[in-house]
Amino acid sequence: MARDSCLARVTAGAAMGGAVGGAVGAVYGTYEAIRYKVPGLLKIRHIGQTTLGSAAIFGLFLGAGSLIHCGKSY
């Protein structure tokens, strides 16, 4: 049962990291696209790439952090 609990914690951490990273990436991607005057529909592509990249990286780190904390008992 502890293994399932650990897996659930890591999954929840990765999901939360992905959500927060995606939100931050969307805001930052929009800011960059406007600041650097990305033309036309390339703005959508730029914002999407920034959002997905940020979500993946932050989700990975938060999932890894949850995995590290999983073995500790408080």
> Which distant-in-sequence residues (6+ apart) come within 8 Å of 56 by Cβ?
18, 21
Predicted local confidence at residue 22, as pLDDT: 98
What pLDDT, on a 0 to 100 scale, did the predictor assign at position 71?
A: 77
- One digit per residue, pLDDT tens: the chain, 74 residues? 556 689 999 999 999 999 999 999 999 999 999 999 999 999 999 999 999 999 999 999 999 999 999 877 66
Q: Report the candidate in 58, 53, 2 with the shortest Cα–Cα distance to residue 26.
A: 53
pLDDT at 54: 98
* 52 contacts: CB under 8 Å, gap ≥ 6: 22, 25
From first CA to last CA, the distance across the chain in angstroms is 18
Under a CB-based contact definition with an 8 Å cutoff, are residues 29 and 49 in contact?
Answer: yes
pTM: 0.87
